[in-house]
Structure formats: structure tokens, C-alpha cells
Amino acid sequence: MATTGALSGKTALVTGGSRGLGRAMVLAFAGAGASVVIASRKLDACEALAREVGTRYEVAALPVAANVSNWDDCEALVTAAYERFGRVDVLVNNAGMSPLYPSVDQVTEALYDKVLGVNLKGPFRLTSLIGTRMGHDGGGSIINISSVEAERPEPSALPYAAAKAGLEALTLGFVRAFGPKVRINTIRCGMFRTDISKAWGDPAAVDEVARQRIALRRVGEPAEIVGAAMFLATEASAYCTGATIRIDGGTR
């Protein structure tokens, strides 16, 4: 059925939006009345979610295939969003990747560049393009999805950790570049049970690590990012910019 809510009349663009945390945020924004742009490298997955959004919430959903590490793809994504909706009110830089590697000396240049491209280069370009337009259009909210690795890097994820630390630095820099009209904030995520978590190994072993390292003693579920995302996307956070909100269950 048609939905009205805190984001009615708004447009939200979510990268990495077809699965995991991105999917949860797309559904939440659509449920609050927003039109949504669903971007990921796999168009069929974006199209499937767009159909689900249209059926469940009767809001417009635009699926776009985009590899955010490619600036041409970023520009094509922005063009598609503005041609369809005329504006973007919420940008979520959620697309991310952290390939496994056996040891730091075996990190290839290609792997390093790929990880930095998706996690840092893409968000920089999209924020630059969309943040500038938001400023001209009267304002907006940009949400960067970071990781506890930015603060507590593990040897098994150093390129990813460096990229996420850089993303948090971009949050603070863009706050000054685009204030006062555009708000930019970070959600620093802990362990969430998404498709990516399947690469972590035996689920029982992962749960044991969570019990030892996380105050809530469990891995998070994708829907548990929604509260923070909705807060930052709406006027509920009108006086919040440059903030980092930890959604990590109390990871130590």
C-alpha cells in the first residue's frame, strides 16, 4: 500500500543497496515514503529489490548497475538519479568489500587498489557530486557506512581498515566543505550477519568470538542498522553533523 512518513517526497540513494545492510536501509527508507535509487554491481539484484519495494510500499524505485570504484559509473549513477527524480535528499555510501588474504606480504596491488576504490574512492566521488547538488537544492543528508576496523584494525583487513579510516576523515572534511546546508555523518558498524559474514568461517566460531568481544554477546542483524540510518536521514538529526555513531553491540 502507499506509504507516508518521515521521508515522503524525498529521494534516497543507497550504494551496495541490493543486499545486507544496504537492503535493510532501502526498505526502511521506502517504508518511510522515500523514492529510492538502488545501486550495486549486479543489476538483476537491484531490479528484484526495486520490484519488491514497488509492491510493498508503492513508491518509485530505480535500479542502477554501478561499480563505485569507477568514476564514470559514479557520474552515470548520479545522472540517472537526477534524470529520474530531479534531486537526491539522502545519500548512503554503503558499498564495501574486504577480500581475504593469507598474509600482508601477499596483498597484491590489484587487491589493494580494488579495496580502496570501492570503500574510499567511490564515496569521495559520489559525495563530491551529490553533496554539491544538495547544497544548490537546499540541503540533504549523507551517511557514510564505516567499520570498527577504522579504529581497531585487524592484520587480516588492513587495506579495508585504512579505507574506512579514510572514509571517516572524509566525513569531517566534507562537513566543512558543504555546511551548513548538507549534513554528513558516519555509522561505524561492528559485526553484522550479512552475506559477507559467510566468509568469516564456521558460524559457531563466529558466535563464540562475538560472545568474547561484544558487550551484547552476539552478531548484529541487518535490520538493527535501521534506527541509526533513519535518525541520520531525517530531520530528527537536524543538529547532527560530523558525528560517528557506533552500531557495534559494544565491540571492544
Q: What is the pLDDT of residue 194?
A: 83
Q: Which residues contact 205 (CB under 8 A, 6 or more apart)?
A: none
What is the pairing mode between strands 140-147 and 11-15?
Answer: unpaired
Please give the single-letter amino acid code of residue 148: V
160 is catalytic: yes
Stated length of the chain: 252
When pLDDT is averaged across residues 2-9 and rounded to a whole number, the result is: 82
Cell of 35: 523514492
Q: What is the pLDDT of residue 162?
A: 98
Q: Which CATH homologous superfamily contains domain 11-247?
A: NAD(P)-binding Rossmann-like Domain (3.40.50.720)
Please give the single-letter amino acid code of residue 160: Y
Q: What is the pLDDT of residue 65?
A: 98
Choose, from 101, 112, 160, 239, the residue flagged as catalytic: 160
Q: What is the mean pLDDT of the chain?
A: 94
Q: What is the pLDDT of residue 197?
A: 58
When pLDDT is averaged across residues 142-157 and rounded to a whole number, the result is: 95
Residue 101 Cα to chain centre, angstroms? 24
Q: Which residues contact 137 (CB under 8 A, 6 or more apart)?
A: 87
